[in-house]
Amino acid sequence: MIFQPKILPAGDQAILIELGKEIKPEINQQVHYLSQLLEKRAPMGIKEIIPSYSSLLIYYDPAQISFSAVSDLVQNFLHENSPRPNNPPVIKEIPVVYGGEYGPDLEFVAQFHGLTVAEVIKIHTSQTYLVYVVGFSPGFAAMGTVPEIIQTPRLPTPRTKVPAGSVGIGGKQTGIYAVESPGGWRLIGRTPLTLFDLNNEPPAFFKAGDYARFFSIPAEDFFLYQEQKRNFF
- Cα angle 27-29-34, degrees, rounded to a multiple of 5: 100
Domain stops at, among 51, 78, 105: 78
Q: What is the pLDDT of residues 76-87, one digit of tens each?
A: 888 776 555 556
Domain extent for 28: 6-78
Q: Which of 28, 48, 78 is the C-terminal boundary of a domain? A: 78
pTM above 0.75, yes or no: yes
Per-residue pLDDT tens over the stretch 33-71: 888 888 888 888 999 888 888 888 999 999 999 999 999
Number of domains in the chain: 2
DSSP three-state, residue 101: helix
72 in a structural domain: yes
Same domain for 106 and 51: no
- Whether residues 118 and 211 share a domain: the answer is yes
Residues 109 and 195 in one domain: yes
Write the CA distances from 142 to 44, 71, 149, 174, 192, integer angstroms.
31, 28, 19, 6, 18
Query: Does 85 reside within a domain?
Result: no
Ramachandran angles phi, psi of 118, nearest 5°? -60, -35
